[in-house]
Every structure is written in structure tokens, then in C-alpha cells.
Amino acid sequence: MEEKRKTFRSYFTAEGRMNSVLSARDLCLDDVINIVDEASEIVDFNRGLLQGAIEHISQGVSVVDKHLRLVAWNRRYIELFNFPAGFIQVGRPIADVVRYNAERGLCGLGDIEALVKKRVAYMYEGASHISSRAYPDGRVIEVQGNPMPGGGFVMSFADISAFRNVEEALKQSNETLEARVVERTQALGALNSRLINATQEAELASQSKSRLLAAVSHDLMQPLNAARLFASFLSSLERDAEVKKISSHIESALGAAEELIVDLLDISRLESGKMEACIEDFNLNEVFSILAAEFGVIATQQEVYFSVQPTRLHIRSDKRLLRRVLQNFLSNAFRYNPKGKVLLGVRRKGKGCQIEVWDNGPGIHEDRQKDIFNEFTRADLKDSELGLGLGLAISYGISRILNQPLHLRSWPGRGSVFSISAQCRDVFLSSKPVVHFSLPLEGVRVLCVDNEREILLGMDTLLSRWGCHVCVAENLEMVMLLIKDGFLPDIIFSDYHLTSNLTGLDVLEQCKKELISHDFKSVVITADKTKETALKILEQGYACLIKPVKPLKLRAFLEEVARK
């Protein structure tokens, strides 16, 4: 039996079949019949196995032999192309099948024989290929062909219509999405452009407002400065009580006007972000001493019991801005608590401290306490002085710049406490006592330079009353003439803005050149409160006074010269 199997296997090779034919004389008829039967069984088994395998494939499949004749296919192949019954059969040339499909328009446009020849050539050459085609009924069929090792060709056909529909839908969705993105991007760009334009317009408006306020304040400060000098002169005439009383009212009104202008400028600087802090360590008592002197006079005039608790604490803050906050606290306490008590002090709180202003005034109701730091908010007191209600709003803005929170405690009918937090420094030095001088100013030679004659007249009147020897000049030419005539000033007060081409710095520099061997003090007086102007003046070594000039500050400079 084993010998028969070997004989059968050799039969199915070219050499085996030839050998079998040549040696047939050695085989009996029964052996030949058995070999043929056994071969038929194996062929039928292999064909059934192949047919069963391809029938369970979801794609349509057709197989051709090396002579390009159909040898196998599955039911899905028949269904995909809707072949007529009996058309697909073993041994049919594949060219007939391709021609049939081409005649139905399933192979595209062109000459039918050329289309058939092209596709048959792929199979004949054994070239692998993959393609897809949309059929007239809307289906999309993907065709994939691969050669077999022993000759022949296998073709698979898959209906990818659903996949292509999804792909097309995704493509359209992407195109729509891209269009929407482009549209939204353009809309966003247009919006951004409008926002940029609006921001630029707002910035221009803010700059225009700041320039307007600065120009208006400068122009207002000029007559206010002259009026304050004249009012101070009238106050010094002690022999006329009625004039003294009237002049004190004038000074009070001028002070209120100055306060309003300063408040408006500070609000403008806060809104524009131009107010900057200069943080340093300093003795808090330095600020307390200045406030004690400033509000001590006001307390006497308004019959307010005002006390300042001395301290040795050193804190880290901006001395100028902190003083501005405390000035606003004290001004409110004095305004709404006439003939009452006001206390300025500080208390430690953990690693920091609270600088507090106490008063025993009417207090603030709880429902108003949340709004008290808003702009244009005032306590509703009938007998209080009128104001714009900007002081506390400015204090709140400054506290945010300093990063030092404000606090309020109030008890209606009993009083209020306004406070600001500060960072303490672990330095404790004895505070130097504040020494107040009241030296005679007889013989102090003063040169006043200003392009406003009223201001020059006011300076001349007030300083002459104090015993100074005063000369005035409206421009650089008049200054040079006075110096050439032999006038040697001990102190020069020069306005900053003299003409469009001349500043007080130019005048003082020229005076230094002319008086190179003579020592004198230089002070620039200006209504320009910008940090840039102040730095420019200080960098050149000159002192700075802000208009309207307070007589006490003028006298302080004069007494410094008198002491020397």
C-alpha cells in the first residue's frame, strides 16, 4: 500500500507522470484503477476544502489557473456582479468575464477590448494590484489581485461603499469645519482688531485726559500760588484783626481748592497706572513728625484735640505714598469730627503693624462701610465740609500699589478707626526729636525767578515781610543783569516752566557758571507733579517745591540758609 502511495505522489509531478507512462507495462489494470480513484478522491477533497474556505470569506473571490481560466469562486462573487445563472463555470476564460463586466460599464470608459486586454495582461504578467471603482448603481468596489506561486491568479472584490460614504462624510465635515474655523478666525480677528482699536482709543482718551488735567492743574496752580502768598502776607499783619480773620478764611478756601486739584490729579495717575512706589526702610516716626506739625496747626484752628503717639518702629513702605494715605485719614477725621478728638498711632500685629487713625466722631453705619472707599462717596453729614469724596478712594488705590491693605472699624455715635497694614523691620533706633527753628531772616538775599508777575509780587511781599532782601526776575536776561549789578543771592527760587525754550534748570545752571565762586542754595518751584520732572530736578542737585507753595516750606528753606 505504501508503495502505491509513493507511486501516486510521483504521478502528480511531471517527471512522475512520464515515468508512470513509461513503466505502465509494469502495472496491472487494477493498480491503475486504484491510483485514479485515489487521486480523484484527493482532488475532490482539496476542491471541497478550498470551496468551503472561500465561501466563508466576506469578499467576493475568483481563482484562475495559469491559463487564465476560472477554477474556483464563491457565492459572494456572483452576488457582487449579479452574473446570470450558469455564466460562471469551471474552465471559462477570465477574459469572457471581464468583457461581460466591461459591456455593462463596470470597467470604466473606453474601448471594451482595450479594457479587457489591460486587465488580462495584469493577470498574465502576475502583477499584484489594488484599485477601487465607483459603479453606476452607487457602489464602490475595491479590487485586489495577487499571483499564485504555481501559476494562476487570485482576485478579491470588497464592497467598500459604506466606508467611502463615511470617508466622504468626514471629508465634508472637515471641509465644513475648516470653513467654520476660517470664518470664526476671521470673526475673531475682526473682533480683536476692534478691541485693539477700542483699547488704543481708550488709551489716547486717557492720555488726553491726563494731559488736560496736568495742563489745567498747572494753570490753576499759578494763580493759587500767588493768592496763597498774598493770603499768608495778610495773615502776618497782626495789628489788623479783621484782615487777619479774612485772610485765614482765604487761606482755608485756597487750601480746599488745592486739595481738590491734588485729589483729581492723584485719581488720574491711579487710573493711568503712572503712580509708582519707591519702597524703602525708614523710621515711621519721621512720617509721624511731619503729620504732627502739619495737622497740629489745623487742630488749633478747628479746636480739635489732636495727639500723635511717638514710635521707634521701622517699617518698609513708600514714605511719600504712606504719608498721603495717613493725610487722607486725618483730613476725614478732622472734617467729620469738629472739636472732637483724633489720635494717630501704631500697634504691632504679628510680624507687621497697623498704623491707625482714631476719632470719636459720629461713626459710619455698617451698610455704608462697604462703599466708603469708592470714588465720590462721603458721609451724610449736614454740617460737614463739602468735598468730592476722593480721599479714601485715593488711599485705597495707593494701598493696592503698596500691597498694604486698608481696614475700617466704626461704631455709629462713638467713632471710627481707619488703618493701613505695614511690614515691620527689626530695627529700633531712638527717634531724633523734631527741632523747630524760628530764626530771624534779616539780610537773607533771595532771588525769585518766575514768568508770572503776580507770583513774583506775592513772593516779594511775603519774603520782604519776613525781613529778606528780595530781587525778582521774569527771565534769564533779567537774572544776568541783577548778577552783573552785584547782587549775590543766598538762595534762588526759580519756576520750572518759564518759556517754551527755557526752564528753571537752565537758569540755575547759568547762575552756577556766573557765580562760580559764590555759594548759594537752589530751589525749583513747579506745578508739574510727575515723577520724571522731580527726578530730573533732584538728579541735578536741586531742591524741589510743588505749587502752590506753602509759606512754612518756604520759611524752612530760608531758615536753613540763615543757619549757615
Quote the pTM value.
0.44
- For residues 489 and 445, the answer to whether their CB atoms sit within 8 Å is yes
Classify 432 as helix, strand or coil.
Answer: coil
- Nearest Cα to 333, choosing from 364, 371, 309, 374? 364
Would you state the cell numbers that stand for residue 20, as one nine-digit string?
Answer: 508512470
pLDDT band at residue 189 under the 50/70/90 scheme: confident
Q: What is the pLDDT of residues 207-258, one digit of tens each?
A: 666 666 565 555 566 666 666 666 666 666 555 666 666 666 666 666 656 6
Q: Look at 165 and 113; give whichever has higher pLDDT.
A: 113
Residues 6+ apart with CB under 8 A from 55: 74, 75
Residue 436, pLDDT score: 45
72-99 average pLDDT score: 86
Whose grid coordinates read 451724610?
Answer: 380
Separation CA 539–CA 536 (nearest Å)? 5
The domain locations on the chain are 1-56, 276-425, 445-563
Buried b (16+ CB within 10 A) or exposed e, 103-130: eeebbeeeeeeebbeebbebbeeeeeee
Assign a CATH topology to domain 445-563: Rossmann fold (3.40.50)
Q: How confident is the model at residue 357 (pLDDT cuts 50, 70, 90)?
A: very high
Q: CA separation (Å) from 279 to 323, 422, 554?
A: 13, 12, 28
- Domain 276-425 fold is Heat Shock Protein 90 (3.30.565)
Please list, in sequence order, all residues whose beta carbon lies within 8 angstroms of the beta carbon of residue 502, skipping any fewer than 6 positions away: 475, 476
Furthest C-alpha separation in the chain? 169
Q: Is the pLDDT of residue 145 over 70?
A: yes
Cβ atoms of residues 141 and 133 within 8 Å: yes
Higher-confidence position of 52 and 482: 482
C-alpha 241/C-alpha 251 separation (Å) is 15
Is residue 374 scored above 60 in pLDDT? yes
Q: Supply the DSSP string of 60-105, one letter for each residue.
A: EEEEE-TTSBEEEE-HHHHHHHTPPTTTS-TT-BHHHHHHHHHHTT
Query: Of all residues in the chain, what percent carry a pLDDT higher than 70?
Result: 72
- Residues near 459 by Cβ (< 8 Å), separated by ≥ 6? 229, 446, 448, 450, 470, 472, 493
Q: How confident is the model at residue 7 (pLDDT cuts 50, 70, 90)?
A: very low
Place of cell 453729614: 381
Comparing CA positions, the residue from 368, 359, 357 lying closest to residue 337 is 359
Helix or strand (DSSP H, E) at 45:
helix 29-55
Q: Which residue has the higher pLDDT, 98 or 531?
A: 98
For residues 304-331, give the mean pLDDT: 89
Grid cell in block for residue 29: 489494470
